[in-house]
Structure 1
Amino acid sequence: MTRVKLLQGDITTAEVDAIVNAANEVMLGGGGVDGAIHRAAGPALLAACREVPQVSGVRCPTGEARITAAGALKARFVIHTVGPRYGIDANPAQLLADAYRSTYRLALEHGCSRLAIPAISCGVYGYPLDEAARIALGVSLEDEFNSLEMAFYLFGEEIYTIWETVLAEYKAGT
């Protein structure tokens, strides 16, 4: 299970095949991780996002993922995924799991093996940290994704401690 690791740090500095962005459905930047990634990547990322086809103003529906060039980041790609808004979107657990699975499948389709991943939906979208950790790490440890090296970049001591506890439980088989 060493293929999944937890870090505290700035995801925008990761040197990986793809940085995962906790995006919104329009994919044109926002707050939190999304805003930080867009600022670090520069205008090339916004231009790449604008090239993604939209349907009724949506470039990436909740639970899905899209891939673009990474602009000025030290990665080949940015994989944008939209997690659910907790307490607003129906079936948030399924949508969150779908967001991770869609991200990982897109990474594999594009030959990516090393990913930097934020805690999707855990910021302004309000997902409870413990439940989000169980879903994210559970999906990440599925056999389908065992060729991926995943580094979760977690912001703050509280979220890091929660995810560390959940990961230890998975490693212990509980």
Structure 2
Amino acid sequence: MAAMIRVWQGDITTLGVDAIVNAANSSLLGGGGVDGAIHRAAGPGLVEECRTLGGCPTGEARITGGHDLPARHVIHTVGPVWQGGGRGEPELLAACYRNAMTLAEEAGARSIAFPAISTGVYGFPAGRAAAIAAETLCAWLKGRTGWQVTLVAFDAGAAATLRDALERHRQ
């Protein structure tokens, strides 16, 4: 089966996939937005496991169990804070997607869901972030089979931005 990328609008914490990606802060101990929602839904075991990891630098990723989530794993990645684009932010964001996919593959996962990393309080422009996600994921999946990647949008506007980026990249 060929690799597939789809866009889905809804709550990432409800997806029964092998892994969901958490747009985490460098402490990995929870925060606002998607990070807070994932920690709340996963229960206290997630923060306890995250405490053992010693944090995570920007662009890298760490994996934990899913705890009370339907997903088997949570892959935590720390996206860059947008500072205008000249401080390596695009490269760091692409690294988040690549490193999360590599950890998923090493864990035997083949279905994974991503939020729009860095587009909330970190301020990365949504259109640029969506283009980086589409380009990076399509490149990583090239030649691989059996993958189901879901790009999760919390509202219709974000879903349209992700769909547009995916369509532009597939052409």
Instruction: Give the TM-score range, shorter chain.
Output: over 0.9
Q: Deviations over 1:123-160 (max 9, x none)?
A: 11011011001100111101556332111111112211
Question: Cα distance 1:143–1:95, how it changes in 2: closer, same or farther (>3 A)?
Answer: closer
* Partner SS for 2:36: helix
The answer on 1:84 being equivalent to 2:85 is no
Greater than 6 Å deviation, 4+ residue runs: none
Q: Secondary structure at the match of 2:8?
A: strand
- Change in Cα spacing, 1:88 to 1:28, as seen in structure 2 (3 Å) is farther
Paired residues of 2:98 and 2:140 also in contact (CA < 8 A): no
Partner Cα separation in structure 1 for residue 67 and residue 17 of structure 2: 13
Q: 5+ unaligned residues in a row in structure 2: which ranges?
A: none
Q: Is the CA contact (8 Å cut-off) linking 2:151 and 2:162 kept in structure 1?
A: no
After TM superposition, the score normalised by the length of structure 1 is 0.91
Percent identical:
47
Q: How does 1:48-87 map to 2 (within 5 A)?
A: 48-52=49-53, 54=54, 59-87=55-83
Question: Structure 2 length normalisation: TM-score?
Answer: 0.93
Preserved contact between residue 30 and residue 36 of structure 2 (Cα < 8 Å): yes
* Cα distance in structure 1, aligned partners of 2:135 and 2:141: 12
User: What's 1:121 paired with?
Assistant: 118
Q: CA shift at 1:45, angstroms?
A: 0.5
SS in 1 for 2:72: strand
- Cα separation, 2, equivalents of 1:140 and 1:103: 10
Aligned length: 167
User: What's the offset of the Cα at 1:102?
Assistant: 0.5
Asked if 1:164 corresponds to 2:163, the answer is: yes
For structure 1, the residue ranges without an aligned partner over 5 or more in a row are: none
Query: Residue 136 of structure 1 aligns with which residue?
Result: 133
